[in-house]
Amino acid sequence: MFLKDYISDVYNGVASLLKGMRKTGYYFTHSKEIITEQYPDNRATLKLADRFKGEVVMPHDDNNEHTCTGCTACELACPNGTIKIITKFDITPEGKKKKAIDAFIYRLEMCTLCNLCITACPSDAIKMVPNFEHSVFDRSKLTKILNKPGSKIKEGIE
């Protein structure tokens, strides 16, 4: 009986090992199963999900106009002080003072890409874009001013 157990032990053990080797052997001989993505080479065809949260940007239209009113809702919503809005007062043609943004400072190095600022924004002035190549040589380059120079608020946005 002992010998029978012994032999069946050896047999089952070897059989289980061969089963595993058959699986790995299958993958060795089937090169179409390879799943490697050749990242820098496939940049042209690389398609990220459109919702991918990579970076906060402020869309500007052709007239260099944005929709940010400077209400600082995003600044308040941000959990880690990524956004800082500096406001100024523009003089409208009617001679009235109007609040506008001077600089929308966005610190990418502090951002956790949690999307809370986007949901907080009442005028859809900022949005997330699927851009993930953020490497720069100097950390200070990650502090960005999102409103373009000379841009102004779109008409009719309060």
Partner 1 sequence: MYNETEIIKDTTELGPDGELVINMGPQHPATHGVLHLVVTLNGETIKKIEPHLGYIHRSIEKMCERLTYRQFIYVTSRMDYLSSHINNTACALLVEKGMQIEVPERAKVVRTILNELTRIASHELWIGAMAMDLGAFTPFFYAFREREMITDIMEDTCGARLTMNYIVPGGLMYDIHPAFQTNVKAFIKQFKEKVTEYEDLVTGNVIFQSRTKGVGVLTAEDAISYGCTGPVARASGVSCDMRKIAPYDAYDRVEFDEVIETDGDSFTRYLVRVKEMNQSIRIIEQLIDNIPEGEFVGKTKNVLKLAKGEFYQRVETARGELGVYIVSEGGTTPYRIKFRSPGFSNLSVLNHISKGSMIGDLMATMGTLDLVIPDIDR
Partner 2 sequence: MLSLESITKTTQDWLLAKFDPTIALAIECVIVILLCITLFAVLGLVLVLLERKVAARIQIRLGPNRVGPGGIFQTAADTLKLIMKEGLTPDTADKFLFNLAPFVVMMVAMLLLAPIAFAKNFQIWDINIGVLYISSVSSLSVIGILMAGWASNNKYSLLGAMRSGAQIVSYELSAGFAVLTIVVLTGSLQISEIVAAQENGWWLFKGHIPVVIAFVLYIIAVTAETNRAPFDLAEAESELTAGFHTEYSGMKFALFFLAEYINIFIVCAIGATLFLGGWMPFHIGSWEAFNHIMDYIPSSIWFMGKTFFLIFLIMWFRWTFPRLRVDQLLNLEWKYLLPISLFNLLLVTVVAIMGWHF
- H or E segment to which residue 155 belongs: none
Q: Which is nearer to partner 1, 116 or 145 (CB)?
A: 116
Stretch that binds partner 1, among 82-90, 112-120, 138-146, 148-156 (CB under 8 A): 112-120
Q: 38 contacts which partner out of partner 1, partner 2, none, CB within 5 to 8 A by kind?
A: partner 2
* Choice between 16 and 80, CB closer to partner 2: 16
**Applying CB under 8 A, which of residues 6, 7, 8, 16 lies at the interface with partner 1?**
16
125, 126, 128: which is closest to 157 by C-alpha? 125
3-class state of residue 14 by DSSP: helix
Positions in the binding site for partner 1 (CB under 8 A): 12-13, 16-17, 19-20, 22-24, 35, 48-49, 51-53, 77-79, 112-116, 119, 128
